[in-house]
Structure 1
Amino acid sequence: MRIKKRYFFLSIFLAIFISACNLFTTATINNNSINLTVSAASSLNEAFTEIGFLWEKETGNKILFNFGSTGKLAQQIEQGAPVDLFAAANKSYIEDLDRMGLIVSETKALYGQGRITLWTRDDSPLNPQDIRELTRSEYGRVAIANPDHAPYGIAAREALESVGIWQEMKPKLMLGENISQTKQYAETGNVDVAIVALSLSLNHPGKWELIPDNLHQPIDQMLAVIKSSNHQTEARHFAEYINGIKGRELMKKYGFVLPQEMID
Structure 2
Amino acid sequence: MSNVNGGRPAVHQTGGTGWPGVLGKRVLVTGGTRGLGEQIVRLLAAEGARVATCARTARDLETLAASMDSAVFTQPLDVTAPEELEGFVAAAVKRFGGLDGVVACAGGSRGGGFEQADAEDWAATWEVNVGHTVRLVRAAVPHLRAAGGGSVVVISSISGWKPGPPVQYGVAKSAQIQLAASLARELGPDGIRVNAVSPGSMLIPGRRWERMRREEPEAFARFVAAELPGGEPVAPQEVARVVAFLLSDWSSGISGAHLPVDRAQNAPSPEGY
Q: TM-score, normalised by structure 2?
A: 0.29
Comparing both structures, which one devotes a greater share of its residues to strand?
Answer: 1
Q: Which has the larger radius of gyration?
A: 1
Q: TM-score, normalised by structure 1?
A: 0.30
Comparing both structures, which one devotes a greater share of its residues to helix?
Answer: 1
